[in-house]
Structure 1
Amino acid sequence: MSYGASAYARVSQTVLTPREAEAAVLIKAAARLQAIQDNWPQPLPAVNEALGFNQKVWTILATAATEPDAPLPEELKTSMAHLGAFVLTRTLDAMVEPDRDKLTALISINRELATGLRGNP
């Protein structure tokens, strides 16, 4: 097999669906927050980097889910808007007044939503 065909074969096996990609990013954000929480106290730049990543993830997720043309039921769009507002508020609060306990809800939400996106019970 040529190098190009071999590279294509590897990439084609790792292509994620949009739901899988969203789940993977949520798990990555949860893992970063978990590492900060597990090794508390952490330097403020490390805390803010992990929280900033979570903020970016949720800004994108909440915006995409609540777009008028998003293929979701209105009830789910509303729920995502509320959840996104909570996560972004909690993230900002943790940036302003860092506390390891503030990360627990963020980690849990990210993991639970990732589980749902993957279709796992």
Structure 2
Amino acid sequence: MSYAANAYAKVSQTALTPREAEAAVLIKAAARLQTIQDNWDAQQPALNEALGFNRKVWTLLSSSATEPEAPLPAELKQSMARLGAFVFTRTVDMMVEPRAEKLTALIRINRELASGLRGNP
């Protein structure tokens, strides 16, 4: 990548709103999981790393969304807590018994939440 393009990429990343940044990270996590699912035999060694990245994303999202000071309605906080719990449970399940089709739910959740954060429900 040229210096100018690299500089532009850095500036555009810093100009994201918090919601756009959250959406971008969710899309990145979904894309990593999708790559593994699409090419399961070749990509399976990268599974734990991708699951770990997704877990970190969800740890940050669910913990910040459920903080008492978070400016979200109680119902939305509860929904984020339930989604986070599902993501963590599915992640452990994938680590114990990996199967490509189990990634579908994680990928969809990430994409749909990212879409909502971008204002495209």
Task: Answer whether TM exceeds 0.5 for this pair.
Answer: yes
CA contact (8 A) 2:30 2:106 kept: yes
Gaps spanning 5+ residues in structure 1: where?
1-6
Deviations 1:70-111 (A, max 9, x none): 010011000100011001110111111110011000000000
Q: Which amino acid aligns with 1:61?
A: L
**2:12 and 2:28 mapped to 1: Cα distance?**
22
Gaps spanning 5+ residues in structure 2: where?
1-6
Q: Which amino acid aligns with 2:116?
A: G
Q: TM-score normalised to the size of structure 1?
A: 0.87
| Aligned pairs (5 A) from 1:1-121 | 11=11, 15-42=15-42, 44-121=44-121
Percent identical pairs in the alignment equals 78
Deviations 1:4-54 (A, max 9, x none): xxx69x726851000000000000000000000000124654110111111
RMSD over aligned Cα atoms: 1.9
**1:120 and 1:11 mapped to 2: Cα distance?**
24
Summarize the Cα distance change of 1:110–1:13 in structure 2 as closer, same or farther, 3 Å threshold. Answer: closer
Summarize the Cα distance change of 1:82–1:12 in structure 2 as closer, same or farther, 3 Å threshold. Answer: closer
Q: Which amino acid aligns with 2:49?
A: E
Q: TM-score normalised to the size of structure 2?
A: 0.87
User: Runs of 4 or more off by more than 4 Å in structure 1?
Assistant: none
Q: Which of structures 1 and 2 has the bigger CA Rg? A: 1
How many residues of Structure 1 are paired with residues of Structure 2 in the alignment?
114
**1:64 and 1:97 mapped to 2: Cα distance?**
30
